[in-house]
Amino acid sequence: MDAALEKRQVTRAYALYSPVYDFIFDRIFHPGRVAALKLLDIQPEESILEVGIGTGLNLPLYPPPVRLTGIDLSDKMLEKAQAKVEELGLANVTLKVMDAAAVDFGDNEFDRALATYVISAVPDPLGVLREMRRVVKPGGTIVILNHFRSASRLAGTLEDLVAPLCTRLGWKSNLALEPLLMEVGLTADLNTKVNLFNGWRLLWCVNRK
């Protein structure tokens, strides 16, 4: 699929999801979010980038105070996130509409980066991970929480079959983990399963440049 077309489909899909996103996705995926923020292990005064912050479901999980920049492709999702920022009284949170595959940040600008349920929902997963590596300092950490293609032959085949439909709904059902990490030059120092039926992977990577 043409990347520009897929980007438009993703933007349109999440604009439609924005009014009901929290209702559908909060409780089901909450355990993974909690585990991801714990694994991120934010230290005082560190600068954090959250890629695909969406409606801001992770915001209540950040330790105060936090220096957080959250980006998302959907302005409708960010409107929900901004409301949470104001409700929670978070003073050091900046939200920006931005394509995560071409971010407007300098090299080595952040101490840590987080992407929860995002990598399979973007048109260019490789580009997003490369940008995360670029903007995170050497030795900094990158935490990824996502569904990846199953290693089971049957489940993987089913994920391949439904992939065209899932893409139209705004995410990839059959994104393979190992080739993606190898291509971008990341190693998962921790790789564990989370959420219902252990269907999602939580990865902790050190940015070795």
pLDDT band at 51 (very low <50, low <70, confident <90, very high): very high
Asked if the structure places residue 154 within a domain, the reply is no
Tell me the longest C-alpha to C-alpha distance in the chain.
48
pLDDT tens digit string along 94-112?
Answer: 999 999 999 999 999 999 9
Find the domain containing 46 and state its range: 3-149+176-206
Confirm whether 170 is domain-assigned: no
Task: Say if 121 falls within a structural domain.
Answer: yes
In a domain, 165, yes or no: no
State the pLDDT confidence band at 5, using cuts at 50, 70 and 90.
Answer: very low
Question: Is 118 within the bounds of a domain?
Answer: yes
- The predicted pLDDT at position 2 comes to 47
Number of domain units in the chain: 1
Higher pLDDT: 154 or 207? It is 207
Q: What is the pLDDT of residue 56?
A: 95
Residue type at 91 in one-letter notation: A
Between 38 and 66, residue with greater pLDDT? 38
pLDDT mean across residues, the chain: 87
Kindly state whether residue 155 falls inside one of the protein's structural domains.
no
Residue 47 placed within a domain: yes
pLDDT per position as a tens digit, 23-43 = 566 678 899 999 999 999 999
Say what the pLDDT of residue 158 is.
Answer: 84
Question: Residue 72: which CATH number?
Answer: 3.40.50.150
Q: Determine what percent of the chain is predicted with pLDDT higher than 90.
A: 64
Parallel, antiparallel, or unpaired: how do β-strands 200-206 and 190-194 relate?
antiparallel
* Least confident window among 21-35, 125-139, 145-159: 21-35
CA distances from 86 to 44, 81, 96, 150, 151 (A): 22, 9, 15, 39, 42
**Position 166 in a domain:** no
Q: What is the pTM of this model?
A: 0.86
**For residue 147, what are the CA distances in angstroms to 42, 44, 103?**
24, 30, 23
